[in-house]
């Protein structure tokens, strides 16, 4: 199994980091977990063209995690040869259907233009999405890949899910945005790799001081994300083999990677991976 960080950014725009999105490659399958800003650009950077994605997992429905789902859906649709056309499976928490229906309504004119223009697209049919809403405790089987959904704690955002992806005896835990909680421990238990979105309260406080007009909004985010330290703690407590940090809030400035890593390493003695978009780990 290979994990590639497609986007390591956050809602705060950064010219060098796409929004939150992670590619999990398991033999025949390319699974995209969350679809943040520019995820399709990075997907192609990882060597995967959109027709070769057949499963999307959404951890939650915050805009930074879903804003380029429409790009993946349209680009996949218009670049897939008619004989290969298939529905894109989108798995997420309750609410995913509402998001997908709204997105398809937004794309309806584009779909109509292209269907009218391209005879072979009419043969293949319109945009097709199979939405599967999961609740915590559900298991979803995707061919030879097992996906287990766990509750996470990103309140007031509810419901939110973390996914444990199991394939050929390996397990990857993708936590999404969450603070530590017992269900997160279950999700990560003895995982070969644990991918956590993280925040640095010290840097958020600095940013809030620099932009007093947005200070309230910035400090609001402190209470629903794992800190780098908490991610290290969660990894250590649950026997995780490899910790991967992503979704750096605020953005991780070039040259500060070791500083971020050291904070997690104070809690977790195993390997810790972080870095630019397209950083990858094989398990
Ligand atoms: Zn979020
Ligand atoms: Zn987020």
Task: Say if residue 12's pLDDT is above 90.
Answer: no
Question: Which ligand is nearest to the Cα of residue 247, counting in written order?
Answer: 2
Ligand 2 center to residue 180 CA distance, Å? 15
Q: Assign residue 25 the CATH number of its domain.
A: 3.60.15.10
Task: Say if residue 223's pLDDT is above 90.
Answer: no
pLDDT at 124 (0 to 100): 87
Q: Which of 80-84, 218-222, 227-231 has the highest mean pLDDT?
A: 227-231
Q: pLDDT per residue over 143-191, tens digit each?
A: 999 999 999 999 999 999 999 999 999 999 999 999 999 999 999 999 9
Task: Say if residue 264's pLDDT is above 90.
Answer: yes
pLDDT at 193 (0 to 100): 98
Task: Say if residue 58's pLDDT is above 90.
Answer: yes
CB atoms < 10 A from the CB of 118, how many? Answer: 13
pLDDT at 217 (0 to 100): 82
192 catalytic per annotation: no
Q: pLDDT per residue over 98-120, tens digit each?
A: 999 999 999 999 999 999 999 98
Ligand 2 center to residue 227 CA distance, Å? 13
**pTM assigned to the model:** 0.96
Which letter, b or e, does each residue of 212-224 get, where b requires 16 or more Cβ atoms within 10 Å of its Cβ?
Answer: eeeeeebeebbeb
Please identify which residue in the block is written with the tokens 């908490």.
Answer: 230
Question: Which ligand is nearest to the Cα of residue 60, counting in written order?
Answer: 1
Q: Domain count for the chain, please give it.
A: 1
Yes or no: say if 38 and 14 are a contact pair by the CB < 8 Å rule: no
Span 57-74, mean pLDDT?
A: 97
Span 204-212, mean pLDDT?
A: 88
Q: How far apart are the C-alpha atoms of 136 and 134, rounded to whole Å?
A: 7
Yes or no: say if 32 and 65 are a contact pair by the CB < 8 Å rule: no
Question: Which ligand is nearest to the Cα of residue 62, counting in written order?
Answer: 1
Question: Which ligand is nearest to the Cα of residue 20, counting in written order?
Answer: 2
pLDDT at 74 (0 to 100): 96
Ligand 1 center to residue 225 CA distance, Å? 8
pLDDT at 27 (0 to 100): 86
List Cβ neighbours of 47 (8 Å cut-off, separation of 6 or more): none
- What backbone torsions phi and psi does residue 257 show, to the nearest 5 degrees? -55, -45
Span 24-32, mean pLDDT?
A: 95
Task: Say if residue 83's pLDDT is above 90.
Answer: no
Span 247-270, mean pLDDT?
A: 96
Q: Please report, for residues 5, 66, 82, the alpha-carbon distance to residue 16 in angstroms, rounded to integers and kept in the order given.
A: 13, 19, 35
Catalytic residue among 34, 64, 153, 277: 64
Ligand 1 center to residue 62 CA distance, Å? 5
Question: For residue 211, what are the domain limits?
Answer: 2-282
Ligand 1 center to residue 188 CA distance, Å? 19
CB atoms < 10 A from the CB of 202, how many? Answer: 11
Yes or no: say if 104 and 215 are a contact pair by the CB < 8 Å rule: no
- Ligand 2 ion: Cβ-proximal residues, 5 Å cutoff: 64, 177
Ligand 2 center to residue 18 CA distance, Å? 12
Q: What percent of the chain has pLDDT over 70?
A: 100
Q: Which of 263, 102, 107, 129 shows the shortest CA–CA distance to 196?
A: 263
């Amino acid at each position: 199994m290979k994990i590639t960080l497609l986007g390591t950014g956050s809602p705060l725009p950064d010219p060098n980091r796409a929004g939150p999105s992670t590619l999990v490659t398991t033999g025949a399958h390319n699974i995209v977990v969350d679809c943040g800003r520019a995820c399709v650009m990075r997907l192609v950077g990882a060597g995967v063209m959109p027709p070769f994605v057949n499963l999307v997992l959404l951890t939650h429905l915050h805009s930074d995690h879903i804003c380029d789902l429409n790009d993946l859906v349209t680009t996949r649709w218009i670049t897939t040869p008619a004989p290969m056309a298939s529905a894109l499976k989108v798995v997420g928490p309750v609410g995913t259907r509402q998001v997908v229906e709204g997105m398809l309504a937004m794309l309806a004119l584009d779909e109509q233009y292209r269907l009218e223009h391209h005879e072979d697209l009419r043969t293949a049919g319109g945009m097709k999405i199979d939405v599967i809403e999961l609740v915590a405790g559900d298991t979803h089987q995707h061919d030879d890949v097992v996906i287990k959904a766990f509750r996470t704690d990103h309140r007031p955002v509810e419901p939110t899910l973390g996914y444990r992806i199991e394939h050929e005896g390996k397990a990857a835990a993708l936590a999404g945005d969450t603070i530590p909680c017992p269900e997160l421990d279950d999700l990560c238990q003895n995982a070969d790799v644990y991918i956590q979105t993280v925040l640095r309260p010290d840097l958020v406080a600095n940013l809030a001081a620099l932009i007093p007009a947005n200070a309230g909004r910035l400090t609001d985010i402190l209470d629903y994300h794992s800190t780098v330290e908490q991610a290290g703690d969660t990894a250590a407590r649950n026997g995780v083999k490899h910790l991967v940090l992503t979704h750096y809030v605020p953005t991780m400035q070039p040259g500060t990677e070791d500083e971020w890593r050291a904070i997690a390493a104070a809690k977790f003695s195993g390997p810790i991976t972080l870095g630019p978009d397209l950083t990858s780990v094989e398990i």
